[in-house]
Structure 1
């Protein structure tokens, strides 16, 4: 099996997984006693199986389970490591992703978008494709492109959390 050494592709794949996890937590977190749980309805799981089978496996992992910041980060890192590190990409690629400026800036920009649109996103459920479509529309605006350029030009490190990967 030939594994990719493309950091650019690995960054793209990892960003998608992180965005997906944000989407899951945005719509499917429920309070159960003192804990927060992810509970994804069966019809959403069926839709994911059909339209995003690679991400549906992650949804299976976190569905009907408690969540918090640490569990969320652990689940993300474990999934990225299991699905991408040494599988799709050479084992030297993923450790570079989390230090990559593009990864950090894209995740920062995505989080800015979420904060700016939280009220709208909260009005009614939007599937993952809808989220990505809305984000891409916003992301293509000249103001957003300029902001991204400034982050890149200034070498700003937005401080996105990283995952430790097995070497």
Structure 2
């Protein structure tokens, strides 16, 4: 099996998994017995399975499970490792992804977008592809492109989620 060595592609794939996790947590977290849980309705799971087959196993993995920051990070990192590390990409690629400025800046900007658009996103359930389209529209604005370039060139290290990877 031929595995990719493209850090750029791996960044894109890893960012999508982190974004999907954010989407799930945004819409499907419920409180039960003073704890947070992810509960994805059956019809939504079926739609995810049909429209996002590569991300469906992640939705299945986290559905009906207790959630906290550490579990969320562990879930994402486990899924990234299982789906990408040594499978789709050479084992040397993923450790580079999490240290890459482009990955860190992309995650930072996604979180900025999420905070800015939270009231709009909260109005009604938007599917994940709708989120990505809206984010790409925002991303294509000149101000955002300039800000991204400035962040990358400055070498700034925005606070982003990280996965420890075995090398």
Q: CA deviation at 1:155?
A: 1.2
Output the CA distance in 2 between the equivalents of 1:150 and 1:100.
Answer: 15
1:19 corresponds to: 19
Q: Cα offset for 1:64?
A: 0.3
Gaps of 5+ in 2: none
Cα distance in 1 between the residues matched to 2:161 and 2:75: 13
Alignment of 1:1-167 (within 5 A): 1-167=1-167
Other structure's SS at 1:4 match: coil
TM-score, scaled to structure 2: 0.98
- Deviations along 1:103-122, one digit per CA (max 9) or x if unpaired, are 00000000000000000000
Task: Tell me the secondary structure at the aligned position of residue 66 of structure 2.
Answer: strand
Q: Taking structure 1 as the reference length, what is the TM-score of the superposition? A: 0.98
What are structure 1's unaligned runs of at least 5 residues? none
Task: Write the distance in 2 (CA, Å) between the matches of 1:123 and 1:143.
Answer: 26
Runs of 4+ deviating beyond 2 Å: none
Length, aligned pairs only: 167
* Root-mean-square deviation (Å): 0.7
Give the C-alpha shift of residue 159 in structure 1: 2.2
CA drift at 1:150: 1.3
SS in 1 for 2:54: helix
CA distance in 1, matches of 2:90, 2:155: 27
